[in-house]
Amino acid sequence: MTSGSDEPVDCERWASERATLDREYPLADLPRLRDVLADPGGTLRARFEFARDARGRAIATVTIEATARWRCERCGLSFERPLRSSSDVEFVADERAEPSDGDREPVVAPGGRVRLADLAEEEFLLAAPLAPSCDEPERCARAPRPARESVAAAPATRRPFDGLRDLLQKTDRT
Ligand SMILES: [Zn+2]
């Protein structure tokens, strides 16, 4: 495991060598995660498996794993949960380039170089829940509700639109 230094790496070279690179980043060092997490404690482990596709283009599988602290959208309390994710990417020269394989995410690598931390950060953001929930109905119910949820008298396990559907069904019957 290497950490620290994060100069852009030569993806063409690593693709030719079919290299697997492992990195570790403190979550606090990845600035775009600041707005997503309850606090920046924790470490992101990332693996980059470089290769070439059938047409000789530089590709990689990016796999990340982190235990992060999220803030529950419902009760506002923070909770810890692991995040794991993996994506296949293809390195392209600029934003206009289309990846040759539709299943691969294009990653712009100016001059064939990328910062691995950027790749890891992007993968984390792709996989991060849009509305994190602690999924602990008891804890959620005990916690003071944010003001905007004061109308929601339904049990914590219900989704907001269930109530609306009940309401519509009742209206239909009258
Ligand atoms: Zn909660």
pLDDT tens column, 14-60: 999 999 999 999 999 999 998 899 999 999 999 999 999 999 999 99
C-alpha of residue 144 to centroid of ligand 1, in Å: 10
Task: Please give the torsion angle defined by the CA atoms of residues 158, 161, 167 and 168, in that order, rounded to the nearest 10 degrees.
Answer: -140
pTM of the complete model: 0.75
C-alpha of residue 85 to centroid of ligand 1, in Å: 23
Q: What is the pLDDT of residue 152?
A: 44
The β-bridge partners of 66 are 44, 83
C-alpha of residue 5 to centroid of ligand 1, in Å: 37
Looking at per-residue pLDDT, the higher value among 173 and 26 belongs to 26
Work out the percent of the chain whose per-residue pLDDT is above 90.
61
- Run of H or E residues at 43: strand 43-52
CB-count burial class (<10 Å; 0-12, 13-18, 19+) for 113: middle
Q: What is the pLDDT of residue 151?
A: 43
C-alpha of residue 84 to centroid of ligand 1, in Å: 21
C-alpha of residue 150 to centroid of ligand 1, in Å: 15
C-alpha of residue 81 to centroid of ligand 1, in Å: 13
